[in-house]
Chain A
Amino acid sequence: MTAQRLQIVLNGSSLTLKSSSLSDLVDSLNLTNARYAVEVNQEIIPKSAIADYTLTNNDVVEIVIAVGGG
């Protein structure tokens, strides 16, 4: 029996995940020094809710940071 794999879209790119934990996904991006915000299917996931959030197949995830701009 193989582990359940999850297909999602992260920042516009398809991605296959082993874990359905949103916080595992965020951790994998090494955003340790950055302030970021997360959206799943166009709903903002507050930082306090990321730890308990479970992704499902075909979720569309956006993770954004602040960059230079005018």
Chain B
Amino acid sequence: MDTLTIGSRTFNSRLLVGTGKYKDFTETQEAVEASGAEIVTVAIRRTNIGQEQGPNLLEFINPNTTTILPNTAGCYTITDAVRTCQLARELLDGHDLVKLEVLGDEKTLFPNMSQTIEAAKILIEDGFQVMVYCTDDPIACQELDDLGCVSIMPLASPIGSGLGITNPYNIQIILENATKPIIVDAGVGTASDAAIAMELGCDGVLMNTAIAEAKKPVLMASAMRKAIESGREAFLAGRMSKRLYASKSSPGDGTID
């Protein structure tokens, strides 16, 4: 069985999905189910004061088939990211798996890597299993791997951009050095982008906008599930070498005159 192990947990699916930007929680639930994802990200936010509390997202996520992955989206400092993880752990009754992101800039949502590395150290020391959103810089990824993050998650392109894998060669170098699962996080736009990530040898792909902003999100979730599976199988099968000129598939001999 081709499973994915992240820290102390093992999964069958290599597609991780977010829960943002959906029209309602029913659509979120249907898309998550169609994606087959077993890891589902959520954000941690203040409750609205003085307003009717509507339905809660967690009621729409099946705890028997999915692992909740709280993120630190929106955090621009080490302190805020660490506090958010600690709040998430309390909210989820001691759950220790988190997605760390310390952002550097509102416009690009690129991670601030020096602060990400410091926050990762604090969280690991505090007992968290840290999956970390990072740049596709092989040196930074190596450092996060060495300091004990359970998964390294380089961006393919900016969050929500749909630009696909902009630097496959960096991803290739990151994969060569990795001792932890490499999960492409952010930037995937459509099924072929996800397949490319998997064909490169990535261990998984995390996406949100590519599914949520599709015209038919539930159908795109299903497409992504297949893309991840076919990309993974193509990687395991090992692709043919490229050659410049044609090579006959049918025998050259025995053709009729």
Contact = CB atoms under 8 A, between A and B. Distances in A.
Q: Interface range on chain B: under 10, 10 to 19, 20 to 34, or 35 or more? A: 35 or more
Interface stretch (A16-24, A25-33, A51-59): A25-33
B71 A35 contact: no
Interface string B50-67: 001101111100000000
A70 B159 contact: yes
Nearest to B68: A66
B90 A66 contact: no
A11 B93 CA distance: 21
Contacts of A30: 52-53
A38 to B, nearest CB: 8
A66 B43 contact: yes
Given A35-B92, A37-B87, A46-B90, A69 B42 contact: yes
Contact of B49 (A11, A36, A37): A11
Contacts of B68: 66
A29 B54 CA distance: 12
Nearest to A36: B91
Given A39-B83, A62-B87, A65-B91, A70 B49 contact: no
Contacts of A44: 86-87, 90
A10 interface: yes
A19 to B, nearest CB: 16
Contacts of B55: 33
Nearest to A42: B83
B56 A13 contact: no
Nearest to B91: A37
Contact of A69 (B46, B47, B73): B73
Contact of A34 (B47, B73, B160): B47
A37 B208 contact: no
B216 interface: no
Interface residues of A, number: 28
Given A12-B46, A63-B46, A35 B58 contact: yes
B19 A34 contact: no
Indicate the member of A37, A38, A39, A69 with the most B CB atoms within 10 Å. Answer: A69
Interface string B144-174: 0000000000000001100000000000000
27 contacts: A10-B49, A11-B47, A29-B53, A31-B47, A31-B53, A34-B47, A34-B56, A35-B91, A35-B93, A37-B90, A46-B90, A47-B90, A64-B87, A66-B43, A66-B57, A66-B58, A66-B91, A68-B28, A68-B42, A68-B57, A69-B18, A69-B19, A69-B20, A70-B18, A70-B73, A70-B159, A70-B206
Q: Which 5 A-B pairs have the closest CB atoms?
A: A69-B43, A70-B18, A70-B208, A37-B91, A37-B90
B116 interface: no
Contacts of A35: 56, 58, 91-93
B135 interface: no
B211 to A, nearest CB: 10
Contacts of A46: 90
B144 to A, nearest CB: 20
